[in-house]
Amino acid sequence: MSADLPVFADIEAAAARIAPYAIRTPLIENAVLNDKLDARVFLKLETLQRTGSFKFRGALNKISQIAPADRAKGVVAFSSGNHAQGVAAAAALFSIPALIVMPKDVPAAKLEGTRSYGAEVVFYDRLRDDREAIARALCEERGATLVRPFDDFDIVAGQGTIGLEIAREAAARGVKLDAVLAPCSGGGVVSGIALAIAAAIPGTRIASVEPENYDGMRRSIAAGRRVAAPGGTPSIADALMAPTPGEIPFALAHRHLTDALAVTDAELTAAVAYAARTLKLIVEPSGTAGLAALLSGRFLSSGKIVVAVLTGANCDFFAVAQACAPTRPI
Amino acid sequence: MSADLPVFADIEAAAARIAPYAIRTPLIENAVLNDKLDARVFLKLETLQRTGSFKFRGALNKISQIAPADRAKGVVAFSSGNHAQGVAAAAALFSIPALIVMPKDVPAAKLEGTRSYGAEVVFYDRLRDDREAIARALCEERGATLVRPFDDFDIVAGQGTIGLEIAREAAARGVKLDAVLAPCSGGGVVSGIALAIAAAIPGTRIASVEPENYDGMRRSIAAGRRVAAPGGTPSIADALMAPTPGEIPFALAHRHLTDALAVTDAELTAAVAYAARTLKLIVEPSGTAGLAALLSGRFLSSGKIVVAVLTGANCDFFAVAQACAPTRPI
């Protein structure tokens, strides 16, 4: 592919751009988790980021660069989840109209969340309509800027600021990291983090973690080119179901990832419950993938210093309670 | 009263003592909360402290000072809640046997939590037995050290390290705080914080927040001497039901508190739901008292920079889900 790839300096520039607005999220430890894994595990709490997920970072990095003359024309995004809220909130900060293309059957909570930031919502039919075509048509009609969820230079650079913060915080604490694990769908966040960590702490392992059957990155890394995962039954990790990594994310991941893993839905559910019960953290199933890889032993952390990025917390609260006590009827 | 009172230097000494073991918990902001209150609100996440509450700090400060020759004789505490887990975990770090006196009807989760840190549990009958007498007898029998929940020099100094961390973090961020709010039961944590904040950031308002009918500190401050709250129906804030503040906490609070507030159970429940849904934080009802005072408008924060200390997260997860969706049957 010929698209420009972001470099480390683009992440540093993104960090400066988002600093006035984004939360520099905490990096925490838990003694019980450390004991359990015989490791030192740091958790990067993007669950506490504005809009409840890391998506705000990339959206803000993209949207803040829209030329003043083009701002009134607005932005368009297609998403039923965290990206929608990230775009809506970032656009609102610059008084830019946001139009989000969502499926007709979007859960009420996500629709309300998106509208709460002032975005306009256009619905499509999952079976009949092509959401990307709808979004592109709306962009042409309005002269609006399309904000893609992951296959975008500025989105990847924005998500990469997580890696930069991790590297800086580890240095400030005098800690030498062995590995960083992050969830992967289209690959925007894990490839941005990989770029940052590879540059800032060379030699650190960087692992993507996907749900089984939605492991497009793992298969693509193995094949040396972008290939699709089989998909099938929906995963509990509803935000990680992109079948194929984006071009920009794959190009970076191919260069910088050292591990590409997959976890089962049972392992994700166990991680949701462990996060709530033991760590006292609300994490949506998709956001626990890195932690699930550690808890399940799919990534062996014994004796190591590792970071798991907890990417989001926008989930039905009863689903978390259910994960904690599956035998108790709700 | 004639008991020695801790001073700021005792909190500084406690901070050095607990530094190798305790989590320096995050101080976070949330844009939606700030907008809602037209304020800048920092949340101190003691929910992420070891054992899931601030109690670990005081227990560790006390227990780490037990002379090596006395360690084998153990420690004794009476508590059915967070103090039990704090004492058990702190004792385990120094290989000190811990014996916790708990009511026979203690919830299974709290019993398991306490035992998970290796503590021995002795049961008493709430109606027939005097738990303090049982604890004192056990101490005499074994030569063990009694670790009181709040009316203790070292416990108060240990909890005060929260205030020291808040003051240091605010200074590091260049923020001038207007007020700090913390939950109050026997007054250990709020009086320790008040001592630290009054010394480190003079002029800052410091508010205790209690459940209605368990507002012993508010009544005592008004009376100028320790008086009991009426009690009655148990509060949802099960950790805040001490009727009367301790001697040491009251003496410090009388000197340093600027506000003594009470909130209703409905306001606490609303704060639990707000924390989970909007802030993505698990906070037990008792731990939300400071936040509840802000959300309910009982403490007017408009235009101010304030800190609410979220003191713990050891609660039934279904109770949190229930608070979030009271109309949905569980």
Residue B138 sits at the chain A interface (C-beta within 8 Å): no
Q: Do both A314 and A278 map to the same domain?
A: yes
Number of domains in chain A: 2
Residue type, B266: A
pLDDT at A3: 62
Contact yes or no for A259/A206 (Cβ under 8 A): yes
pLDDT at A105: 85
Contact assignment for B277 to A28 by CB distance below 8 Å: no
Q: Do both A73 and A104 map to the same domain?
A: yes
Angle, helices A153-172 vs A8-18, to 10°: value is 80
Q: Do both A287 and A242 map to the same domain?
A: yes
Q: pLDDT of B223-243, one tens digit each?
A: 999 999 999 999 999 999 999
Q: Do both B236 and B282 map to the same domain?
A: yes
Residue A319 has pLDDT above 90, yes or no: no
Percentage of residues in chain A having pLDDT higher than 90: 88
The answer to whether position B330 is within a domain reads no
pLDDT at B329: 42
Average pLDDT in the A79-107 region?
Answer: 93
pLDDT at B126: 83
Largest CA distance in chain A: 57
Residue A255 sits at the chain B interface (C-beta within 8 Å): no
Q: Name every chain A residue with its beta carbon within 8 A of the beta carbon of B48.
A: 28, 30, 279-281
For an interface test with B, which of A27, A93, A110, A280 has the most B Cβ atoms less than 10 Å from its Cβ? A280
* Averaged pLDDT of chain A: 94
Q: Do both B93 and B239 map to the same domain?
A: no
Residue A118 sits at the chain B interface (C-beta within 8 Å): no
Residue B217 has pLDDT above 90, yes or no: yes
Q: Do both A239 and A292 map to the same domain?
A: yes
Q: pLDDT of B66-95, one tens digit each?
A: 999 999 999 999 987 899 999 999 999 999
Residue A257 sits at the chain B interface (C-beta within 8 Å): no
Give every CB contact of residue A162 below 8 A, 6+ residues apart in sequence. A25, A44, A46, A54, A57, A182, A189, A192, A193, A196, A309
Lowest mean pLDDT: which of A124-138, A299-313, B27-41, B152-166? A124-138
Residue type, A227: V
Interatomic CA distance for residues A259 and B28, integer angstroms: 32
Chain centroid to CA A9: how far?
A: 21
Residues paired with residue A229 on neighbouring β-strands, in sequence order: none
b/e map of A49-76 (b: 16 or more CB within 10 Å)? Answer: bbbbbbbbbbbbbbbbebeeeebeebbb
> How would you classify the pairing of strands B40-45 and B27-29?
antiparallel
Q: Name every chain B residue with its beta carbon within 8 A of the beta carbon of A30.
A: 23, 48, 50
Residue B25 has pLDDT above 70, yes or no: yes
The answer to whether position B249 is within a domain reads yes
Confidence of residue B3 (pLDDT cuts 50, 70, 90): low
Residue B309, classified by CB atoms within 10 Å of its CB into exposed (0-12), middle (13-18) or buried (19+), is buried
Residue B175 is given by DSSP the state -
Confidence of residue A321 (pLDDT cuts 50, 70, 90): confident
Lowest mean pLDDT: which of A164-173, B37-46, B163-172, B319-328? B319-328
Our CA-based measurement puts residue A166 at a distance from the nearest CA of chain B, in whole angstroms, of 15
pLDDT at B80: 75
Residue B308 sits at the chain A interface (C-beta within 8 Å): no
Residue B20, classified by CB atoms within 10 Å of its CB into exposed (0-12), middle (13-18) or buried (19+), is exposed
Give every CB contact of residue B153 below 8 A, 6+ residues apart in sequence. B3, B4, B5, B6, B10, B248
Q: Do both B134 and B160 map to the same domain?
A: no
**Residue A152 φ/ψ, nearest 5 degrees:** -155, 135
Q: Which residue of B has its CA nearest to A30?
A: B50
Q: Do both A9 and A77 map to the same domain?
A: no
Domain enclosing residue A142, as ranges: 56-151
Going by C-alpha positions, the residue among A283, A279, A314, A325 that lies closest to residue B319 is: A325
Structure tokens that stand for B197 in this block: 């904040």
pLDDT at A330: 34
Q: In what order do the strands lie in the sheet with A98-103?
A: A120-124, A98-103, A75-78, A145-146
Contact yes or no for B217/B254 (Cβ under 8 A): no
Confidence of residue B1 (pLDDT cuts 50, 70, 90): very low
Residues paired with residue B149 on neighbouring β-strands, in sequence order: none
Percentage of residues in chain B having pLDDT higher than 90: 88
Going by C-alpha positions, the residue among B239, B159, B241, B169 that lies closest to residue B201 is: B169
Structure tokens that stand for A45 in this block: 């709490």
Q: Which of A320-329, B198-207, B311-320 has the highest average model confidence (pLDDT)? A: B198-207
Residue A214 has pLDDT above 70, yes or no: yes
CATH number at residue B158: 3.40.50.1100
Contact assignment for B325 to A318 by CB distance below 8 Å: yes
Residue B2 has pLDDT above 50, yes or no: no
Structure tokens that stand for A50 in this block: 């504005």
Interatomic CA distance for residues B6 and B126, integer angstroms: 33
Q: Which residue of A has its CA nearest to B323?
A: A317
Our CA-based measurement puts residue B111 at a distance from the nearest CA of chain A, in whole angstroms, of 15
Residue A313 sits at the chain B interface (C-beta within 8 Å): yes
pLDDT at A315: 85
| A280 vs B26, B30, B52: nearest CB | B52
Residues paired with residue B103 on neighbouring β-strands, in sequence order: B124
pLDDT at A327: 52
The answer to whether position B89 is within a domain reads yes
Residue B113 has pLDDT above 90, yes or no: no
Q: Do both A108 and A177 map to the same domain?
A: no
Contact yes or no for B308/B51 (Cβ under 8 A): no
Angle, helices B153-172 vs B55-63, to 10°: value is 120
Tell which phi-psi region holds residue A95, choosing left (phi > 0), alpha (psi between -120 and 50) or beta: left
Going by C-alpha positions, the residue among A52, A32, A290, A313 that lies closest to residue B314 is: A32
Write out the H or E segment, with its range, that includes residue A180: strand A179-183
Residue A126 has pLDDT above 90, yes or no: no
Percentage of residues in chain B having pLDDT higher than 70: 97
Residue with tokens 């004192």: B136
Q: pLDDT of B27-42, one tens digit each?
A: 999 999 999 999 999 9
Specify the higher pLDDT residue, A1 or B316.
B316
Interatomic CA distance for residues A317 and A328, integer angstroms: 15
Q: Do both A19 and A166 map to the same domain?
A: yes
User: Residue B289 half-sphere exposure, CB side, CA atoms within 13 Å?
Assistant: 32
C-beta neighbour count of A9 within 10 angstroms: 10
Average pLDDT in the B126-143 region?
Answer: 92
Our CA-based measurement puts residue A240 at a distance from the nearest CA of chain B, in whole angstroms, of 20
Q: pLDDT of A255-288, one tens digit each?
A: 999 999 999 999 999 999 999 989 999 999 999 9
Residue B314 is given by DSSP the state -
Residue B223 sits at the chain A interface (C-beta within 8 Å): no
The answer to whether position B329 is within a domain reads no
Residues paired with residue A42 on neighbouring β-strands, in sequence order: A29, A307
Q: Which residue of A has its CA nearest to B47?
A: A280
The ipTM of this complex is 0.93
Interatomic CA distance for residues B245 and A326, integer angstroms: 41
Residue A133 sits at the chain B interface (C-beta within 8 Å): no
* Per-window interface: B 264-293 vs A, CB < 8 A: 276-277, 279-282
The answer to whether position A253 is within a domain reads yes
Confidence of residue A80 (pLDDT cuts 50, 70, 90): confident
b/e map of B228-260 (b: 16 or more CB within 10 Å)? Answer: ebeeeeebbbbbbbbbbbbbbbbbbbbebbebb
Q: pLDDT of B154-169, one tens digit each?
A: 999 999 999 999 999 9
The answer to whether position A330 is within a domain reads no
Torsion, CA A88, CA A90, CA A93, CA A96, rounded to 10: -60
Contact yes or no for A151/A189 (Cβ under 8 A): no
Interatomic CA distance for residues B291 and A81, integer angstroms: 28
Q: Name every chain A residue with its beta carbon within 8 A of the beta carbon of B277.
A: 317
> How would you classify the pairing of strands B75-78 and B120-124?
unpaired
Q: Name every chain B residue with its beta carbon within 8 A of the beta carbon of A50.
A: 30-31
For an interface test with A, which of B18, B36, B282 has the most A Cβ atoms less than 10 Å from its Cβ? B282
Interatomic CA distance for residues B330 and A318, integer angstroms: 9
The answer to whether position B109 is within a domain reads yes
Structure tokens that stand for A261 in this block: 């893993």
Domain closes at, from A116, A151, A186: A151
Confidence of residue A326 (pLDDT cuts 50, 70, 90): low
The answer to whether position B195 is within a domain reads yes
Residue B277 has pLDDT above 50, yes or no: yes
Structure tokens that stand for B11 in this block: 């909190």
Our CA-based measurement puts residue B31 at a distance from the nearest CA of chain A, in whole angstroms, of 7
For an interface test with A, which of B32, B48, B49, B60 has the most A Cβ atoms less than 10 Å from its Cβ? B48
Q: What is the DSSP string of B160-173?
A: HHHHHHHHHHHHHT
Domain closes at, from A151, A170, A197: A151
Our CA-based measurement puts residue A128 at a distance from the nearest CA of chain B, in whole angstroms, of 33
Contact assignment for B280 to A313 by CB distance below 8 Å: yes
Contact yes or no for A305/A177 (Cβ under 8 A): yes
Q: pLDDT of B278-297, one tens digit each?
A: 999 999 999 999 999 999 99
| B282 vs A48, A282, A330: nearest CB | A282
Q: Name every chain B residue with its beta carbon within 8 A of the beta carbon of A31.
A: 50, 89
For an interface test with B, which of A82, A282, A314, A324 has the most B Cβ atoms less than 10 Å from its Cβ? A282
pLDDT at B317: 75
Confidence of residue B327 (pLDDT cuts 50, 70, 90): low
Average pLDDT in the B7-15 region?
Answer: 98
| A280 vs B31, B48, B325: nearest CB | B48
Residue A328 has pLDDT above 60, yes or no: no
Domain closes at, from B136, B151, B166: B151
pLDDT at B108: 80
Contact assignment for B317 to A45 by CB distance below 8 Å: no
Q: Do both B165 and B276 map to the same domain?
A: yes
Q: Do both A83 and A217 map to the same domain?
A: no
